[in-house]
Amino acid sequence: MVNEKELLARLNWFYSLELNQVDLYTAQAHAMEDIYLAKTLARVAAIEQQHVDNMAAEIKKRGAEPTRLGDAVAPLLGKASGTVVGILGAKAVLKTNIALEKKAMKDYKDFISRVEDDSHLLNILWDNLIDEDLHTAWFTNKLKEF
């Protein structure tokens, strides 16, 4: 079980991670030539925005303000973080996104395993985790086309 301070720190981590996903996928959607990929990235960005909102609500419910932790995602992506689509193209975008989604899934699973007595929070974490799993599956399937 996590104490309140650690819980808030974890919620802020996900708040930041999800905000970065919204920014990244929105930028990718605008830069993508392939209409189906662009529309899907925009739709996935909208779902990531729901995750931002549900993490923000959990933080506020506990009397704290959602705080964006620097650039939480950049270290995960390394040099690819600044590259939206550009010269790397759809294949690199999909690979980057799969890595990001897998990191989010790993962290959600870990968080879920640490929360015991808050069924409302657990339901939200499970919802977000399953969304990330669906995104990973779509990106992975799409990658086969390239």
Binding site for Fe ion (CB under 5 A): 18, 48, 51, 101, 132, 135
- CB 110, min distance to Fe ion, A: 15
Q: Which residue, 63 or 75, is less far from Fe ion as judged by CB? A: 75
Report the distance separating Cα 43 and Cα 136, nearest Å: 14
Residue with tokens 């993508």: 32
- CB 101, min distance to Fe ion, A: 5
Q: Which residue, 48 or 58, is less far from Fe ion as judged by CB? A: 48
Given a contact cutoff of 8 angstroms between Cβ atoms, the answer to whether 115 and 122 are in contact is yes
Sign, CA torsion 80/27/49/57:
positive
- CB 131, min distance to Fe ion, A: 6
**Long-range Cβ pairs for the range 23-29 (8 Å, 24+):** 24/73, 24/84, 24/97, 24/100, 25/97, 27/84, 28/84, 28/85, 28/93, 28/97
- CB 69, min distance to Fe ion, A: 15
Q: Which residue, 135 or 142, is less far from Fe ion as judged by CB? A: 135
Q: Which residue, 58 or 132, is less far from Fe ion as judged by CB? A: 132
Q: Phi, psi (5° rounding) for residue 6?
A: -70, -35
